[in-house]
Amino acid sequence: MAPTPAVRTRHAGDGATRAANTAPDEAMDARLLIAREAAAAGFSTVRIARVSDLGGEPGRRFLAFIADGQHGDMDWLEAKAERRQHPNAMWPEAKSAIVLGLSYAPDDDPLRFLDQRDRASISVYAARRDYHDVVKPRLKRVARALQTATGEGVKVFVDTAPLMEKPLAALAGLGWQGKHTNLVSREHGSWLYLGIILTRAEIAPDEPESDHCGSCRRCLDICPTAAFPAPYQLDARRCISYLTIEHKGPIPHEFREAIGNRIFGCDDCLAVCPWNKFAQASHDQQLAIRKETQGPRIADLLALDDAAFRQRFSGTPIRRAGHARFLRNVLIAAGNSADTSLVPRIETLLKHEASIVRGAAVWALSRLASTTHVAALAEAHAQESDETVREEWTAALAS
């Protein structure tokens, strides 16, 4: 196992003084306990926030995001929008938030495959074991120890409940929300998985972190699809991560070429942040990069049936997208590859049961096959029943 990373809390010294004057059989200072358990669980950093200090501004920004429709078809965000505005809207008794971060900083350039169009680029976070399966058990360990020590109730969250993790992380001092809307840490750059423990216990909070973005706008300028209408604002409908992971329908034509060979997520805005220079590569054995996610050949991915897809990406976030959406993404990458040798494999997917796969296959063929060949295929598939796929054929013939 790799050495346990250091976990820092700003007021740990005060807690150490109190603990030194406390009988061994008395409860340990909560802050020292949290720091100790977080380090033992393998977390990279931990900070504490007073829930009531969050205020209403993050909630108002979130509601504006929903009202503008910038969440796309992530209906689950809208369905629980009121509860997501503030932790106390979900749990009125919560007093403190313990925010824990686990670094997944890469040891090489996450954008290195973008110029290799015969290969696929997969986001750093998805190139390894699903972080939910790694973070949650560790979070529960810390929460159990805290509950035992304080006698107060706890709840744990890893990106699966109506809770705004990033504003809480900023309030706790783990970092600040950068212009790309993601959390930035002075120690870990843009590469932190977040987990949160809410508790009824009142624990001395840390100081919030200041915004250190300054005049830098690298993350905004590099975005291939112009997904940032302004600094600190994201229109998810234009975001490649949203389009390749959350979006369930056909990918809009206007973004397909810009997606390039990114088949699951996009790291561009994260990777160019100057604060990454301080991040140490993660050596957590549970987060080891999977070989099969490192620039896999597009030809090989097109050949995967559902069973092979599930087996190859078992335990990773990629599997949760499902085989059909995965193939949709790979076909977009194929269409951008300029590799005409892929045409026969793409043709077989014109008969796929999922319309989003058939439609993406039509588009890919329109980019790789001759006009005559596309016309012949269109005639052969003239009985296509799905309207969106028929529209793809019409567009392919027109182009």
User: Could you report the per-residue pLDDT of 26-62, keeping only the tens digit for each?
Assistant: 335 999 999 999 999 999 999 999 999 998 888 899 9
Asked whether residue 234 carries a pLDDT value surpassing 80, the answer given is yes
In this structure, the strands spanning 183-184 and 176-177 are antiparallel
pLDDT number for residue 380: 95
**Pick from 370, 364, 369, 374: nearest CA to 397:** 374
Asked whether residue 9 carries a pLDDT value surpassing 70, the answer given is no
> Last residue of some domain: 270, 296, 322?
296
255, 387: one domain: no
> Last residue of some domain: 234, 263, 296?
296
375 found inside a domain: yes
Range scoring the smallest mean pLDDT among 65-79, 178-192, 310-324, 353-367: 65-79
Enumerate residues 6+ apart whose C-beta is below 8 A from 102: 42, 43, 44, 131, 134, 135, 138, 192, 193, 195, 284, 287
74 found inside a domain: yes
Asked whether residue 267 carries a pLDDT value surpassing 60, the answer given is yes
Average pLDDT over residues 144-158: 95
pLDDT tens for 81-116 read 888 889 999 999 999 999 999 999 999 999 999 999
Cα–Cα distance, 73 to 90 (Å, whole number): 23
Catalytic residue annotation? 159
The whole-model pTM stands at: 0.90
pLDDT number for residue 231: 97
381, 275: one domain: no
Cα–Cα distance, 265 to 126 (Å, whole number): 8
pLDDT tens for 320-373 read 999 999 999 999 999 999 999 999 999 999 999 999 999 999 999 999 999 999
Asked whether residue 213 carries a pLDDT value surpassing 80, the answer given is yes
Q: How many CB atoms are located within 10 Å of the residue 259 CB?
A: 21
Number of domains in the chain: 2
pLDDT number for residue 280: 95
Across the chain, mean pLDDT equals 91
pLDDT number for residue 161: 84
192, 274: one domain: yes
Would you call 139 helix, strand, or coil by DSSP?
A: helix
240, 304: one domain: no
For residue 231, the enclosing domain spans: 12-296
pLDDT number for residue 79: 84
